[in-house]
Each structure stands twice: as C-alpha cells, then as structure tokens.
Structure 1
C-alpha cells in the first residue's frame, strides 16, 4: 500500500470511515434493496484501490498516484454508479430474457476489466488470472473435447453472467451481497475491538497464561494469535499484528528464525477457525447452507481448540528438547493489566449470546459494536476518543475494500463454473478418480483446495471448492455441515502451506528467514488442520453431534493422535526420543487419526497405548540416564 501525502491520505481515510459508518448504520436499522446495497458497496470500495495500491511496486510512483491511477479509479466508478442510479430497473429486469443493451455491454466490460486490475493490485494476481481463465473458458470452451466441452456462449451472455445476474452469481451476485451486509458489520466490530484496546487485553492474557512456561514466548504467540483471530479475518494481518511482538521474543530464547515464523504463521492462520467470528468464509458458509451461524460456530468450536492444542503441544515439545526458558518475569504483565481491560470482554459475550439466540448476524454485530464503544467509555485507558472511533471506521473500510473485489471475482468464477457446467464436469472427474471411495474423494478435494490456495485468498478459495466438492460429498452420504467444514479447514490452512503461503511469507519477512522453509515449519505446526478436517467427516462427535460417549471418544482420538504426531516430529515426549521411537509414535499417531476402517476403540487403544508405553519406557530409563 502506498504512503500517500497527508491530504489525499486523510481524504481516502474519511471516505473509508464514512462508508464503514453507513454499513454499520444499515446493519442496525435495515439494509436497502440488494442491488442498491451492492452498488453502493462496490462504488465506494473499488475506485480507491487504484490510489492506494501501485500498479507495479518498485516502478510506479510510491507516494502520489499517477494520472493513469486516477483514470483507473474514475473509470472503475462508472459501472457501479450506473447500477446504483438505475437500481430499480436492474432489479426488475429478467436475466437472459430482457435485452442486454450495447450500453450495458460496455459498462459490463469496464466493470470486469477494472475489477481484474483492482484484484491484481490489492489482492492476488493469481485470483485475477483465475477469473480471466474462467471467462476464457466460457468463450473458447465449445472448442474443447470430451467432458470439458461447453455450449457456444455469445459475448453478451458472458458479460451479463459475469456482471449483472444478481440472483445467481457474478459481480452483483449473492456473494457480494453477503460481504456488503453481514461480513461488513463484523469487520467493523473487529476494528472497534482493536481500537478499544481488546488487542492489548488478548496480548496480556496470552503472556500471563503462557509466558511463565517452557518456551513461553512461542506459547504466548499461539494464545494471542488465536484470540486475535476473533477480530481479524486476515491471517496476514494477524501475523503482522502479533508477530511483530512474538517472533523477536521467540528468536531471543533460542528458536531459529524459520521456526519462530512457522509457529506464528500457523497460529495466525488458525485465527480464522476460532469462534465466535471465524473470518468472512464462515458467514458465506451460513448463507450458502442456510445453517444458522450459531450452529456453525458450535460445530467448529472443538476443532479450533484442538488445532491450538496441537500447536501448543508442538511448541512445548520443541522447547523442552532445546532446553528453552520461560519469558523473563519483567516482560510478563501484572494481573492488574488484565483486570483493567477485562470489561472489554462483555461485548464479545453479548455477540455470542445474541447469535445463540438466533438474532441476525449483522444486527448482533451492530449491537456488539455499539456496546464496545459504550463499554470502552467506562475507563479512561480504554475510552475511545473521536479520533480513535474515526481510525477504527477507517481501518474497517481499508479491510473491506480488498475483500470486496476478491469476493466479486470469486462470484465471476462461480458464475462461469455454473453456466458452463464445469462444476458438474469437474466434480464428475474427481468422482470418477475417487471411484466411489469416500477417503480418496476427500484426499482429492483436500489437494484441490490446497492448490486453489496457492493463488487466491481463503474466502474465494472456499467458495469455489464448495461449489465443486460439496455436491460430491453429499452424493456419498456426507451431511451438509461437515462437508463444508472439511473444505473450509483446508482453505484456511492453505495460507500456511508451501510453495505459496501468504501468512508464512509475512512471518518470514518479520523473522528474517527463508519464506519456503518458514512455510514448511508452519505446515508441521498446523498439522491439526489436516487431522481435524478429516475428523469432521469421520468423527462427528468433534462437532458436538451424537452422544456424550461419541463426543468424548472423538476428542480423545484427536488429542492422542496430535500428541503422538507432534511429539514424534519434535523428538521429545518426557525425554528426547530416538529415531525408532519417533517413527513408531508418528505411525501410531497417523493410524489413530486416519485409520477410520478400524473401530474407534481400536484406534483409541493404539493412540493411548503407545503414549503410555513410551512414557513408561522413558520414566524407567530416566534414573539410568542421570547416573550415567
């Protein structure tokens, strides 16, 4: 992002803050008609991206936007202003039946081109190229053989489907509607949490809860990043926020730069898995599935806890093996620091309660945001000045702008895949390769989502994967919610897996380490993302579904499996492990997690049995080592 001159910078920040304030108002008092809301949302958030982000970093002007940047911004506003002005006519027209006029064609092409350029600059070039590939497939797909063959689309059909089909997909489709309503208000709530000092509360709590233990700074990073995940929908911003503090601390007590970056990125990525907010993709899930958001966060809660349990276990074993020390007492805040900010937890409690009572997400977030402002006023250290409120609104707007274009791009992809029948065709290819075997289908879908995650952010990656994969899973008897949670987990952890891992690359920059090596460490610390993802399908107790025995059994299976695997790759349980024991424990952990053909009792016996045997072996041998 550019460091703009102060005058232009404040003008854009004022625009962002004003737009966020309008979204917050609508969240509490009702949104206008869908097309009006979506037009306003895109008109406000797309044009400023050309001023905030240079076309070519290092070659474009670093401070002041060029003439071409201003032209891009002005042109990008035109199609959205037209839709907003003629919102009633756009809402009333019959898609693919009423004429798609030359004026609409020109505006649609402008909208698509400017959206692609904004996505390339502000989000990921990979997502822009994916959109281009899908549009090209609609144009040339009728020349392809076999299952890839499509009908012959006219140019007007392609542009109309990509731009102006608000009931099905495209730029003005339902996905943009979700972002412009519910997700926007939650982003504003997260910004006010940060602005009020809730981030300080989380950071201090993490230090007090984990700092006094072995490998304290790393455990602080894990706890703090998980808590920050309730505020931030971006793993990269989570890394930057918490990593600036935790990565230097981890390096200071002996972690290598790549390992420190890997721990932070794995913990930050998991923030999107942590209720009650869970990032933008979870709201999309609620909209797609018609499952109440409160039910989704309940089903996801245990999985998120297990994800962070695995990272903490891995950090503990690594620290024990290396003989690392806790945080210095002088760097651990006093308990009074937490008590001074503890009132800030009340709006979060209110948010969870309102959503549990099945209030709409946008109204619950509106009430929680207003409550955060009011509660923060109770004490001087948390009281938000007018400037702090302005900054929170502006930060929310700056977060929403790139998300707006990325979701609009994902809408084009989904529209193209649906119109061409590629969703069915690609799903058929995967289904044929899987041969009706659920396990193989899950592996293929997991690989697909991880590949998608190489070039596009979590939310559009999840949306595209859900369009392709969920029907296949349902056809094999998987319920709707576990199917979506499975794909959601892999879309999230794709941000930390090589070769392209946005969160790991951000952590590597802070740590001064190799991005590739950092992403490898992030993957091993985030191993629970893989095991819990499959557990949603095979062990429904992990979603709090079933009897108490089934829930406890599912949790124990994951705890045993994750303890074995993390201990094996760290090379430490109660004492250092030899190669043979590490291999045995790793194999036992994988069997406990993935040998679903065995009864749950047998898997649990393998996991707990090996842990008990190795612990007993190391306990018996400990006196001999001390004598030696």
Structure 2
C-alpha cells in the first residue's frame, strides 16, 4: 500500500501516464489487497487472509493486469465496434464479480447490491413496462459497458481517472498532515479556542472535527479520530450519550464541506463540471462557515439551558502547545495559494505534501522519521483502496443508467412530479439524495444524483455550479440523517448510545446543511457571487435564520424560552431561510427583527434570570 501511494505521489508531481495505464495501475494495486485486509464474513479469520482470500485477490488482479499489459490496444479500440473477444468477456466478468465482492467487504453491501441491480436492469429491462422499458442488450454489451468503456463510464471510466490522479494525491497530503502532527495542532487549537466556554467539550468537538475534515474529508474517520476524545468529555460534563454522539457526528460530517481539502465528491464535481477546483473551494467557503456556526450556536444554547460547565483547566493545553506546532499551517497555506492560482489539483497537493515533509523537519517535535513517512504512505493507501472500488462501482451504475436511458426516464418522472416548480423539484431531488445515502457512501451517492438531477435543474434555469453544490451538500449530510447514518452509527458505538437517536440528534445539529443547500440555488451571494452587498446580505440572512432555528429547538436565547417564543423564533427562522418570494432586505429584517425583539423582551423582564 505504501509503495502504491508513493507511486501516485510521484506521478502527481511529474505527470501521469496516459489514462488507461494509470487507471489500470491504480485498480491493480488497490483492489486485490482488499481481499487480504477485509475478511469475507464475521466467522472468517480476522487477522490473516485465508486461502480463499488469496484466490479472490489473484482473480481480482487478472483483469487489471491484462489491461495494463495491453493498454495501447485498449486505448485504440473502438467501443462497441471492435470485437469483444471471449478472453475479454471472461476477464470482464471476473472484474465485475471481484469488484462486487470487494465493495461488499470494504465499503457498503448496499452499493454492491445497487451495482448488481443496475446490471440486472440492463439484462431484463426490456421486459419492463412504460418508462422503465429499455432496449435489448447483449451480454457482451453489458460487460463491455461496465468494464471497458474508458470514455463514458464503467470501471475504467473518467470517475476512476479522477480518483487515480487528483483525489489520490490529496489523500496522501491528508495522511502526511496526520503523520506530521497537524492533527495534534487542530485538537489543541480547538481546546484552546473553545474549551474555556460553556459546553466547552462540545465546542471543541465541533472545531476539531471541522479542522480534521481538511485532512480526511471522511465523516466516519473524523468521528473515530476526534470522537474518542470529545464524546467521553461531553458525556462527563452532562450531555446525554445520544446528544454527544449527535454533536460529534454532525461536526464530523461537515468535514467533507470544509475547504481546502473537501471530500472526494468535490474533486469529482470539478471533473464532471470542468470547473476549476479553486473556484469550487471559494464557492463552498461561506457554506462551510455557516454549517459550523449553526452547530456551535446549537451547542451553546443547549449548554446554557442545561447549565453546563467549561472544560477542566487541566484538560486545556497551554497556548505554547499550539504555538509549537503552528508552523504546520504553512503547507496548508501553500495548497490554498496554488489552488487559487489555478495550478492543477494534483500538482498543488504534491507541492503541499513536499512542503509538509520539509516544514515538519524544522523542529524535533514534528520531525517525521522514515518510519513515520512510510506509515503516512501506508495510511493513504488504506484510505484509497476502498475509495477505488466504490468509485468504480458508481461508474458502473452511471454507465448502466446512461446506456438504458434510465437517467432520462427517472429525470422525466421527477420533472413531471415537480410540474415545473423549482422548489418542488429541489425537495424531490434532496429526498432522492438522502434516500441514496441510506446505502451508498457520499461520493457514489452524489455521482448518481448528479446524473439524474442536474439536467433537470439546468432546464429550469439553475446555473451549473449551484446545481452541483446543492446535490453535493445533501449527499454529504446523508451520512448523519436517519434511519441509516454511517457517521452517527460510528459515534453511537463510541458513546454506547442508540444509533437511531444519535442520528436524529445529528440531523438537528446539522440543520445548516439543509438551509445552506437551498441557499446555493436561491441566494448566490452564499457562493460569493454578486456584489459585496449581496454577499453580506445572503450571509447575514443565513446567520439570522440559523440562530433563530437553533435557539428555538434548544429552548434558549438569553434565557429559557416558553413554547410561544420557541414557535415564534422557529417560524421567523424558517421564513428568513426559505421565504424566497420576499425581497432579501425583507427576509433579513424578519430574521434580525425577531432576534432583537425576543432578546430585548428577555433582557427587560425583571423576573428573567440573565446569562452571560
């Protein structure tokens, strides 16, 4: 794994081989090891691969080795025109079967079933009635479209290409951030910034998870990394186990929204839309700030209502602990600068990784030994391997949906249900993405939703980037929404709490994901588009709306709120966020006015206990 990651890093700085060779190498080095790392069943040997696992691994290597060896011929062949030989048919079937099994073991059984279902639809779709009916596909066409159509989709399609290049190098950069001690810097920074305030551990969880998200972009890994520290602290000061798990999972999910290294789906977005990643980064910045503002506000109001204490002084690191690692921010600055200067993503990540290694060497505290460098590369490889198969599986689904015309058919169903109403179309698409998120990781969920939903949004006049950002946000927060929420379930395991209730709390703490998602469509200032006045107005509207909503469901503003005031604040918050038929100044006046009115009422009532 470490050697494979090192080769990807080398290519990121010097240039990649031609696409088929790179994709073949990427899949060859990352798919077979999954059978050796992930047991087939709970009853299988857990600490060593069985003979059957080795057979699976060798079978998985065969199709990709053949492609790598015959890369020139594969690149030159005309898809669906040149003969698809019996050997290619056999290798294609082996590729699909091993991919399904690797996905089942290492990613999600739900994704494996969706891939299998898409292939079954190509085989039997011509028997279905109405809009579900498709043309007849031969077995060779099905296998070829799923495996070897590098210009359109499937295992060797463009999605695998972006993972094998840009995303791989960013994952390596994130691994070196963790290996150099940047994680310690973020953890200490969160504790110093928020630990002394009411509900300190919860606020530390929010800040730390957001900062960790710049490294991994994975909600589950964020939960595991930061939750081991923050969840017990939250429980210790009085949060219930389900609320503590909900706060941590909501904060960790937002890591995929946090620039400069967002989740893999953001890089896929750049590839699909042909929009520079630097532009996507800028468009996502205010939305990410609002997401974490809402969680912090909710945590603050709940902590005030419950009368919680700050972190113990002994648990808060000294400021010198933060300063001792502060030089590790320089590589992140280098990355952001290169991206905003429109350097390619893979070269920017390569330069930032080299800068991280060099900067870490300046002080003994952060100096990376050869072993630490090797471990960072190995950790990057362990992260890339499951992503490789999940993206390849998503490529098969997209290829099947496109070939059968199901993208058009399903999009037509949604369009007909929406009846030309943009707001209804957005609700239907958001629901679709959340349903996909029940069984799919964020990136495949976003890819499939974009194939279905973006054409419908474009047809109603929505610009390309807002359309993709809308679907991206809902694909991300699906990891925290019930009934199946990967991040919330991981947090619940740490907290020893109910997974379902943890995901319910995660949803209410991550409410900004819903309001900001719609703001991308209706309030372009959130994406830093328009004049300065429009940008500031859009931002303040969201701040007011989120403060109102979080205060309403926490039952606290400056003091405890009665039912009538909670209803008033909640209604005003929803109006500020979603009453798009009103002019922006009117929406802002509603939000700020409601806040000022209730705050003044609570401040002036002599019987109301005041709070700091």
TM-score over 0.5 for the pair: yes
**Map of 2:35 onto structure 1:** 50
Unaligned runs of 5+ in 2: none
Tell me by how many angstroms 1:556 deviates: 0.9
Tell me, yes or no, if structure 1 residue 23 matches structure 2 residue 8. yes
1:278 to 241, 262, 269: 262
2:207 to 223, 245, 264: 223
**Aligned residue runs from structure 1 range 28-39, under 5 A:** 28-39=13-24
* Contact 2:559–2:608 under 8 Å retained in 1: no
2:193 to 195, 199, 209: 209
**Map of 1:572 onto structure 2:** 556
2:283 to 299, 303, 307: 299
Partner Cα separation in structure 1 for residue 112 and residue 571 of structure 2: 41
**Map of 2:413 onto structure 1:** 429
* Contact 2:602–2:608 under 8 Å retained in 1: no
Q: Deviations over 1:476-530 (max 9, x none)?
A: 0000000000000000000000000000000000001000000000000000000
Tell me, yes or no, if structure 1 residue 342 matches structure 2 residue 362. no
Q: Deviations over 1:326-371 (max 9, x none)?
A: 1111111111111110110000000000111111000000000011
Q: Secondary structure at the match of 1:555?
A: helix
**CA 1:606–1:104 in structure 2 vs 1: closer, same or farther (change >3 Å)?**
same
Partner Cα separation in structure 1 for residue 533 and residue 609 of structure 2: 41
**Map of 1:5 onto structure 2:** none
Tell me by how many angstroms 1:623 deviates: 4.3
**Map of 1:376 onto structure 2:** 360
Partner Cα separation in structure 1 for residue 68 and residue 103 of structure 2: 22
Unaligned runs of 5+ in 1: 1-15
Partner Cα separation in structure 2 for residue 518 and residue 44 of structure 1: 37
**Map of 1:309 onto structure 2:** 293
Tell me, yes or no, if structure 1 residue 242 matches structure 2 residue 196. no
Q: Secondary structure at the match of 2:6?
A: helix
* Contact 2:209–2:226 under 8 Å retained in 1: yes
Tell me by how many angstroms 1:232 deviates: 0.6
**Map of 1:455 onto structure 2:** 439
How many residues get paired?
Answer: 610
Q: Secondary structure at the match of 1:445?
A: helix
Q: Secondary structure at the match of 1:431?
A: helix
Tell me by how many angstroms 1:598 deviates: 1.5
**Map of 2:423 onto structure 1:** 439
Tell me by how many angstroms 1:214 deviates: 0.5
* Contact 2:213–2:258 under 8 Å retained in 1: yes
**Map of 1:9 onto structure 2:** none
**Aligned residue runs from structure 1 range 88-99, under 5 A:** 88-99=72-83
Partner Cα separation in structure 2 for residue 432 and residue 277 of structure 1: 37
2:169 to 172, 185, 190: 185
Partner Cα separation in structure 1 for residue 356 and residue 50 of structure 2: 40
Q: Secondary structure at the match of 1:62?
A: coil
Tell me, yes or no, if structure 1 residue 553 matches structure 2 residue 537. yes
Partner Cα separation in structure 1 for residue 575 and residue 253 of structure 2: 26
**Map of 2:56 onto structure 1:** 72
**CA 1:443–1:624 in structure 2 vs 1: closer, same or farther (change >3 Å)?**
closer
Tell me by how many angstroms 1:233 deviates: 2.3
Tell me by how many angstroms 1:140 deviates: 0.6
**Aligned residue runs from structure 1 range 409-558, under 5 A:** 409-558=393-542
Partner Cα separation in structure 1 for residue 571 and residue 138 of structure 2: 55
Tell me by how many angstroms 1:622 deviates: 4.0
Partner Cα separation in structure 1 for residue 441 and residue 608 of structure 2: 53
2:106 to 119, 122, 144: 122
2:596 to 607, 612, 617: 612
**Map of 1:8 onto structure 2:** none
**Aligned residue runs from structure 1 range 165-176, under 5 A:** 165-176=149-160
Q: Secondary structure at the match of 2:411?
A: helix
**Map of 1:318 onto structure 2:** 302
* Contact 2:278–2:339 under 8 Å retained in 1: yes
What root-mean-square deviation, in Å, do the aligned CA atoms of Structure 1 and Structure 2 show?
Answer: 0.8
Tell me by how many angstroms 1:624 deviates: 5.6
